[in-house]
Amino acid sequence: MNDNQSWRRLATALLIAGLLLLVGCGGLGASPSPTTAAAVSVTNASLSFGTVAIGSSMTVTDSIANNTSSSVTVSSIAGLGSGFQVAGVTLPLVLTAGQSVSFSVKFQPASPGTPSVTISFEDQNGQALASLSASGNAVAAGSQGTLSPSPANLAFTNVQAGSFGNLSETLTNTGGSAVTISQANLTGAAFSISGLTLPLTLTPNGSVTFTATFTPSGAGAASGNLSLLSTASNSPLVVALSGAETAAGQLALSPGSLSFGNVVVGSSSSLTGSLTASGSSITITSASLNNSEFALSGISLPATIPAGQPASFTVTFTPQSSGSTSASLSFSSNASNSPAGQSVTGTGTAPTQHTVDLAWTASADAVGYNIYRGTVSGGPYAVVNSSLDSTTAYTDDTVVSGQTYYYVVTAVNSDSNESGYSNQAQAVIPSP
């Protein structure tokens, strides 16, 4: 071999080695390393569409997020078919660092079955960036359950600002197969629901009743929707919500104050007052009376008072000691002037001490006398003196106001023999 041939062979070997080196290093025109699947994610990686009738469809919203610090490009979506479609994205989709984009998956079956697919979001090299599973149950039209609302719409009327209104809603499965309610989406900040725990399955003819609440915020009329996502043929079922707010009414108390005057300690006196609503009905939730010598009765709370129709109440004063006293009676409600109240005053006075003075004609051989008292004419009687009274007069200071007493007297001689009863005397004690 001459030197020229040896040189050519060496050059060829070096050229091949250089090409292999370029290939091994990726070369100047090589594609960048593909993004790993963990760098991109979907919010819901498993979507179940339940039962959908042929000719109908169900759509679920999802989102895809780029969790890396650089842009990622979704070039294709694989795994579609069997009635599953993806909408809401335009390919190629460039996701900047940290960006999230919503999309929707629609299940619109063309034939009966239980299809299940894996939907992949792929980069330009066909590598999956993120994936999700989707499954559904396709049935013939007419074999699905159907949700029927009662009432069809909920309208709240005349709910006062600062208060709330409740209405009941019943959902009934009127179809031939079970229905599973998976989501209840509510719009309108003034509305809320309670008593509906999801997911919930209703058998044919089965029903559930829950409560919708309207809480006005001072903005006047309000509207919203309750959207129920289910496996029913008419999913999503939308129940329209509306609310009408009325101005808060005012509560008036009559009279403006309650004055009991003088009341004997230990006894009671009662006065009646009234509550009147104006503008709109008022619900009284509680009442307070800050003095234990006064008591409120005659009204059961909470109580709703229609506009223009007064409601009465009673305050009773039972003084425990002598002297003037006062209290504040206050009613809390949804009225614009809540709490509304009145002052209550009274004076406790010491009870009047009544006495009964008795006198009789002396008996010739008597050394003393016994005095008997009863509360029924003709007796029975009980002796009231603790020892023989040697005089012909006696003062009874143990009588009670408002009571009627009957008295008789007996004479006792030196042998301790007691005579029969004298004629009966009656005494009526004033009150107080």
Mean pLDDT to the nearest integer, 237-244: 94
Q: Tell me: do 215 and 180 sit in the same domain.
A: yes
Same domain, 234 and 256: no
Question: pLDDT tens for residues 337-358?
Answer: 889 999 999 999 988 889 999 9
Over the chain, what is the mean pLDDT? 88
Is residue 344 situated within a structural domain? Answer: yes
pLDDT of residue 161: 73
Residue 23 lies in a domain: no
- Has residue 6 been placed in a domain? no
Q: What is the pLDDT of residues 130-184, one digit of tens each?
A: 999 999 888 777 677 899 999 999 999 878 777 789 999 999 999 878 999 999 9
Let me know if residue 27 belongs to a domain: no
The answer to the question of residue 82 being in a domain is yes
Q: What CA–CA distance (Å, rounded) separates 236 from 182? A: 10
Select from 76, 106, 139 the last residue of a domain. 139
pLDDT digits (tens, 9 = 90+) for 40-99: 999 999 998 877 778 888 899 999 999 999 999 999 999 999 999 999 999 999 999 999
Same domain, 208 and 266: no
Q: Over pLDDT 90: what percentage of the chain?
A: 71
11 lies in some domain: no
CATH of the domain at 130: 2.60.40.10
What are phi and psi for residue 157, nearest 5 degrees? -120, 145
State mean pLDDT over 91-120.
94
Contact 78, 122 (CB under 8 A): yes
Please report the DSSP string for 276-287 in residue order: EEESS-EEEEEE
Whether 220 and 268 map to the same domain: the answer is: no
Q: Are residues 110 and 87 in the same domain?
A: yes
Domain count, the chain: 4
Is 7 inside any structural domain?
no
Copy the structure tokens of residue 140: 């013939």
Task: Read off the pTM.
Answer: 0.42
User: Do 295 and 262 reside in the same domain of the chain?
Assistant: yes
- Find the domain containing 105 and state its range: 41-139
CA distance 64 to 153: 35
Residue 20 token pair: 């292999």
| Same domain assignment for residues 236 and 268 | no
* Domain boundary residue, one of 221, 246, 271: 246
Residues 14-31 have pLDDT tens digits of 333 343 333 333 333 334
Chain segment 386-403, per-residue pLDDT in tens:
999 999 999 999 998 889
Q: What is the pLDDT of residue 38?
A: 64
Domain boundary among the residues 349, 374, 404 is at: 349
- The DSSP-derived string for 35-67 is PPGGGEEES-SEEEEEEEETT--EEEEEEEEE-
Residues 181 and 264 in one domain: no
Asked whether residue 377 falls in the same domain as residue 398, the answer is: yes
